[in-house]
Every structure is written in structure tokens, then in C-alpha cells.
Chain A
Amino acid sequence: MSAAGSIRIIAIVGGSAAFLIGASIFLAAIGRPPLATLSQMVLYAFGDSYSLSESLVKATPILLCALAVILPARLGLITVGGEGQLYFGALTGTAVVIALPAAPMVVLLPAMLLAGAIGGGAWSGIAGLLRARCNVNETISTLLMNYVAVLLVNYVIYGAWKDPASLGWPATMMFPPAAIVPSVFGTRAHVGLIVGIAAAVVLHISVTHTRWGIALRVLAGNRKVAAMAGFSFVKQTLLVMALGGALAGFAGICETSAIQGRLQAGISVGYGLTGFLVAWLSGQNFLRAIPIAILIGGLIAAGDALQLYSKIPSASATIMQGLLFVAALGASGLAGRGTARHG
């Protein structure tokens, strides 16, 4: 087996073991039987068709936000802006619905989704432009812009777009049926999931089998060599940031339309951050991100179910995510170091 393959297996086994130990300690600390609760979570996540569809609903924005992290990572950029891009995409997509509430579905639905993607792409593109032109660190700019995008959504739903009929509740009007993203398989899961999986496959093929993929690899490795080969860092930075942001923005307008039915606060429960976690767990690999996003979507759906049935607050799912991230980073780091030393 290749060295990279054995590192990966050691990391996965070690990371899973460390996560299970950490999660058990946490559950024991809050007075819950660890094994019973963990197996209950697996049932709540994937036990029956309803649980599975809820997990897929959660996995959809997570997958799209993960792709928005992985694509820039292929150029060596670290963005944590999924949350802001998601919110800004929801904002621009909703703008179309507010402007053309009576338009027929063939016009309204594509226009809304496109506007959401463009909004997310533009929001992320700002960070890309700042990085490419002014050398502003993209991690910091995306983190700061997350808060601004959430505030902008609050601004419109408490202000100009607030529906008078919602009796003081800060939200826009309900979307007309022509602006509702269709669901698939007769469940709450929607078209966004199909788009996410298709995007992952297309991006994977693009970066492994095309000249564009070579450009990204060379630019990530050595920018001087890349410049001699005629690859532009500025152009590629803008491209990957905008494309990634467009996927996250698309996730935002899909959540707004298919899940909430109107723009309101809390359209995302940290999907951007969770997408970052998934991107990292996948080793910045588009295809691996699909099953991992579904697994983490299951973890979050199980967290919701635990809150409902066992009165365990849903913040426990955030703690579990944190523990999983710590375990995975630690295990892959240690596995990589051990092999480097002996091999």
C-alpha cells in the first residue's frame, strides 16, 4: 500500500477512536449513558426513511458550503466564508422574488437561483479580489464578512422587506409557489442535493483531468513557475473564490426557498462552519466530501432529534462537531508525522 494510503487509514481509524472517546466523555459528563446515546444518534440519523431524508436535508447546504471551501483550497487559499456567502446568496435570491412575485415559474425559479448564486459569488469574489490585488489574507476577510452578511439579512427582514402580515415576526412574505425549489424523492430533500452532488463530480473531474486543474496545482505549488507557464494567480483566485461562493450562495437561496419558504433569521445553523469541517475531513477532496457531508448532516439531524425526544440541547451537536474536528486534525497530523519519521 502507498505511504499516503496507509497514513489515511491510520488517520481515519485513530481519529474515529479519538472522537468516540471524546464524545463518550462528554456524554458521561452531562449524565447520559454514552453508548446508548451514541447508538440512538445513529438511529436518529439513518434509522428510517424519515430520519434519512432529514439527514439529507441538513447535508445539502453542508456539502455545497464544503465545495466552496475545497475549490479555493486547491489554489492554497483557506476561506471560512461559507456562512456569509450563504446568507448573501439568500438575500440576493430573495430580492428577485420580492421584485417579481407574480412571475411564472419558468422565469422566477431560474432567475431566483441564479441571483442567489451570483450574490454568493460576488460576496466571495470581494475576498478573492482583496487577496489577489491587495494581498489581504482571505481567511480574515471572509471571517469578518460573515458577520456583515448576517447583519444585512437582519437589516432587510426587520426593515424594508418585512411582511406586515407576519404580525411583527421578522421575515419576508411567504414565497409564491412559483419560487419554491422542488423537492425530490417525495421527501423534504430538494434539488439542491442533486446540484451539490453533480457539482462535486464535475469539479472533481475538472481539477483532475483538465488544463485548468494543472493551472491550479502549479499555482498552488510555485507561483513563479506558474507565471512563466502563463497561469495567472489573480485570475484563478477570482475564479475559484467566485465559483465557490456561488455554490454557497445557491445553498442559501435553496434553504430560504425549499426549507423556510421565506427569508428570515436563522436560515443557517452554522452550515458554513460545518462545511469548513467537512472540507477538512475530506482532505480537500470533492468526491470524499459527499459521504462525509451526509454523515455530518446525520449528526446534526440526530442532534435535533435528541433535543426533541431526549431534551439534550442541540448545542451538543456543535460540541460533537468540535470534538470530531479536533480528533481528525490530531490523528491525521500524528499519522503524517509518524510515517514521515520512519519512512
Chain B
Amino acid sequence: MAETEALAIAGSWVAAMLRSSTPLMMVTLGETLTQRVGIVNLGVEGQMLCGACVGFAVAAATGSPVLGFAAGATAGLLLSFVHATLCLGCDANQIGSGIAVFTLGLGLSSYFGRSAIGGKVAGLAPLADNSFADALFVGPILTQLTAIAPFAILVVLIAGLWLYRTRTGLNWRITGESFQTARALGIRPLLVQAQGILVGGLLSGFAGAILSVDYTQTWANEMTKGRGFVAVGLVIVARWNPFLVLPVVLLFGLSEAATLRLQATGLTLSPYLISCLPYLVCLGCVIIVAVREGRIGGMPAELASVFGRRR
């Protein structure tokens, strides 16, 4: 009896963890791929906001969540084009350009998102209907999750296989390690970097749309609450490896699910204090990894000019 109860609780925890980490999974994967070609894009936060805003508006207007996801991803892609133009076309500083893209995305989404405030969307249907709710362990997972969570996991695995097992993936990794080598090998590094930024934009916009259409099913100004910046931190924790994005993001999702659960137990701690936890967890992970950096490694060498080298 105690065992079944434990399994049921574990099931609902896994469901909550997967639900809250799905948007973060996509934006972290996107930033990982962008950084693998030697570009840092802090604009992911703004791209995510635009993806959430446009995705929500389209899903609300058409009634189709899938169209919403597509529109959100497109919005993220279009905004990341600004970063690509500034960094690659104009030789602008990557950090400066990222903050510019963030500001633009913040302004655009709060300006054009006004009409979407208070709107309603129907998210994707759950994987299974309520008749499965009592099934052991898988019950809560199947009834609370939509197809987007397994889809996101699949995308991460495919991206990892693609990066490490294909010729074009190798070209991307070479570009991130050494611009000069890439050029000598006949790869066009600028083209690869542009692709890296745009793929990151597509995925961050998609992540925003998952957040607004599937997870919260509402739109509010600045609703991403720094998830894009958290993703930039988690990329470092995942050592620029798409496969490691999965466990890192899931652990992070677990801490978020835990905070939601803590609030639900009627704990007298202020919700504002509890909400600090995700940022502190992210910062803590970045610190641990930075202290151990010498032994773990994995940073694409071209990023050193942006992030700076140790001493």
C-alpha cells in the first residue's frame, strides 16, 4: 500500500518536473547550438518573449496550438536575425547586441501583446484521458503531460546525434573551436554561425510558445521571467553538450516543481522568497561548474574572446 502511494507521488513529481522544464529544454538547447558555433546570444530572453506573445496570439486566434508553436518559433527566428546581422554583418559586440535584441523583444512583446492579455487558448490534449488517471506511476504522467514534452526530448536527442555524428555537425563544432581552421577546411564559418544563431532563435521562440500556449495558457508581460538568461547559465552547466542539456534542465525543473509543491503544502514561507530559488539554483550550478572548470572543460574555443579566459 505504501509502495503504490510512493509510486503515485513519484509519478506526479515526474509530470510536474517535465512540464516545467519543457520550455527551458528548448531554449537551452537552442542557446547550446548557438554557442557551439562560437556565438553568445543574450537576446534569447527577448526572442522567447516574442515567441510566447506571437504564439499565444496565433493559437488564440486560430484555435490551433500547433499553429501557435509554429508562429512563435518563426517570431523567435525573425528576432534572432537582428542578432545575426549585428554580430556577423556589422562586427558588433555580442553581449551588447544580445541586450539590444532583448530590449527590442521586451518592447515589441509588451506593445503588441496588450491585445492578447486575458485571452484564452486551448492547449494540446493530454497524452491520455482521465480513465488512465489511476494507473500506477504513469497515470499522472500521461494525464498531465501533452505531446510537447516527449517531442522536446526527441528534439534534444536528435540535435545531439546530429551535432556529434554527422558531417554538418562536425562543421559546426569546428567553427566554434577555430574560425581559422574552419576556413582552411573550406567551411564558410560566417554562414555556419548565421545558421547557429537562427536555429537558436527558432528554438527560443518555440520555447516561448510552449510556455504561453501549453504550460501557463495565458499571456502576460515579461512572462518568461528571465528563463532565457537562466538558459544561458545552464548552457555552461551542461558544458555545451546537447545530451547533457537533458539532465541539467530536468534537475532544474525538479527544483522548480519542488518549489511549487512547497507552496502547495501551505508552508508559511513567502512565495516571493520561494520564487528566488530557480535563479539561485542556476547561479549555484554555474559557480560549482566554474570552480571545477579546469577539470571538466568543453567550452568552444571561439567563445573565449567573449567569456574571457581564466587569468
Q: Is the CB of A319 within 8 A of B287?
A: no
**Given A135-B293, A330-B85, A334-B91: A141 touches B104 (CB 8 Å cut-off):** no
Which residues 137-164 of A sit at the B interface, judged by CB distance below 8 A? 137, 139-141, 143-148, 151-152, 154-155, 158-159
Q: Is the CB of A148 within 8 A of B90?
A: no
**Given A78-B95, A148-B279, A273-B99: A316 touches B86 (CB 8 Å cut-off):** no
Q: Is the CB of B92 within 8 A of A318?
A: no
- Chain A residues within 8 Å of B225, by CB: 147
Q: Is the CB of B270 within 8 A of A141?
A: no
Q: Is the CB of B273 within 8 A of A322?
A: no
The 8 Å CB contact of A136, one of B42, B89, B280, B286, is: B286
Q: How far is the CA of A184 from the CA of B267 in the complex (A)?
A: 48
Using C-beta atoms within 8 Å of the partner chain, give the interface range for chain B. 35 or more
Q: Is the CB of A151 within 8 A of B283?
A: no
Q: Is the CB of B287 within 8 A of A322?
A: no
Whether B311 sits at the interface, judged by CB under 8 Å, is yes
Q: Is the CB of A315 within 8 A of B110?
A: yes
Q: Is the CB of B233 within 8 A of A140?
A: yes
Q: Is the CB of B106 within 8 A of A318?
A: yes
Q: How far is the CA of A136 from the CA of B236 in the complex (A)?
A: 10
**Given A136-B287, A147-B225: A329 touches B97 (CB 8 Å cut-off):** yes
Say what secondary structure dominates the interface of chain A: helix
- Chain A residues within 8 Å of B102, by CB: 273
Q: Is the CB of B107 within 8 A of A319?
A: yes
- Closest CB-CB distance, B218 to chain A, in whole Å? 18
Q: How far is the CA of A319 from the CA of B308 in the complex (A)?
A: 31
- Binary contact readout B219-235 vs A (1 if CB under 8 angstroms, 0 otherwise): 00000011001101100
The 8 Å CB contact of B42, one of A30, A134, A139, is: A139
Whether B290 sits at the interface, judged by CB under 8 Å, is yes
**Given A273-B103, A321-B103, A336-B91: A134 touches B279 (CB 8 Å cut-off):** no
Q: Is the CB of B307 within 8 A of A137?
A: yes
Q: Is the CB of A80 within 8 A of B273?
A: no
- Binary contact readout A306-336 vs B (1 if CB under 8 angstroms, 0 otherwise): 0000000101111111110110011111101
- Chain A residues within 8 Å of B233, by CB: 140, 144
- Chain A residues within 8 Å of B103, by CB: 273, 277, 318, 321-322, 325
Whether A104 sits at the interface, judged by CB under 8 Å, is no
Q: Is the CB of B92 within 8 A of A145?
A: no
The 8 Å CB contact of A145, one of B232, B275, B283, B290, is: B283
Which residues 222-258 of B sit at the A interface, judged by CB distance below 8 A? 225-226, 229-230, 232-233, 236
- Binary contact readout B75-101 vs A (1 if CB under 8 angstroms, 0 otherwise): 000000010011001111101110111
- Closest CB-CB distance, A300 to chain B, in whole Å? 12
**Given A315-B110, A334-B90: A329 touches B100 (CB 8 Å cut-off):** yes
Whether B2 sits at the interface, judged by CB under 8 Å, is no
Q: How far is the CA of A330 from the CA of B92 in the complex (A)?
A: 6
Q: How far is the CA of A152 from the CA of B271 in the complex (A)?
A: 10
Q: How far is the CA of A79 from the CA of B101 in the complex (A)?
A: 17
Whether A223 sits at the interface, judged by CB under 8 Å, is yes
Query: CB-nearest residue of chain B relative to A318?
Result: B107
- Chain B residues within 8 Å of A147, by CB: 225-226, 276, 279
A and B contact pairs by CB, cutoff 8 A, 6 listed = A30-B111, A155-B273, A158-B270, A273-B99, A273-B102, A315-B114
